[in-house]
Amino acid sequence: MSTEAALLGLVSAFRATPLAIIYGLLLAPRPGRLLLAYTASGLVISLVVGIAVIAGIQASAPSEGSGTTRLVIDLVLGVAALAYAGASAAGWSPRLVTTREPRGGTWSTRLRNPSALLAGTAGAVTNLPGLFYIAGLVAIVQTEPSLTNGIFQVVVYNALRFAVPVAAWLCASFDPVRTRRVTDRLHAWGVRNSRYLTIALAVVVGVYLTLKGLSGLGAFGS
């Protein structure tokens, strides 16, 4: 298993938008089924995309420039992460959901009393591959895995990526009262510190990927 991909999977587990949605679902009267719908739909989307990428790469003949291409992708992702960190530090924040609002009200309004269908839709939309996911797939591909090993790494990556909603679902199913108390405390802490954590994670990942790309491309000399 790629250590880099595993670390990126852990980082992806603490993305701000999914955490906000998970907190909202935990406040619903029956959070267990909602969290299951959210997690299942998001996991399916994430796994399908990851496995399709690995299978597609395995089916294509490797080219002489494939290693350089992956390093360029690392560099681009690193710069994008640093740009995101800079924008966040300047006060910019992304919309909760950038797609068209559903009929019957905004996403934020409907998630106060969601159906399982809406929770599943939110899981699919908010877990589409983003910057960290692409970086994770690149890290997996750079290990030059077999198809079986590549799929295994994608599954492990996604297990880490969805650790928080899975844990929330299990806790809400077996001890909803205590889960609500703990969630309220964690949410209060997260509201105070989420912006700083997001910036710090983006800076760390951005610096790492940028230096990795530049070093691999020979920007620092031999």
Percent of the chain with pLDDT over 90: 23
Taking 3-state DSSP, the helix, strand and coil percentages for the chain, each rounded to the nearest 5, stand at 75, 0, 25
End-to-end CA distance of the chain: 29
Q: CA-CA distance, 17 to 201, in Å (whole number)?
A: 15
Q: pTM for this structure? A: 0.75
Least confident of 31-35, 109-113, 151-155: 109-113
Report pLDDT for 191: 64
Q: What digits encode the pLDDT tens for the residues 19-44?
A: 888 888 888 888 889 999 999 999 99
Q: Is the pLDDT of residue 190 over 80?
A: no
Q: Is the pLDDT of residue 85 over 90?
A: no
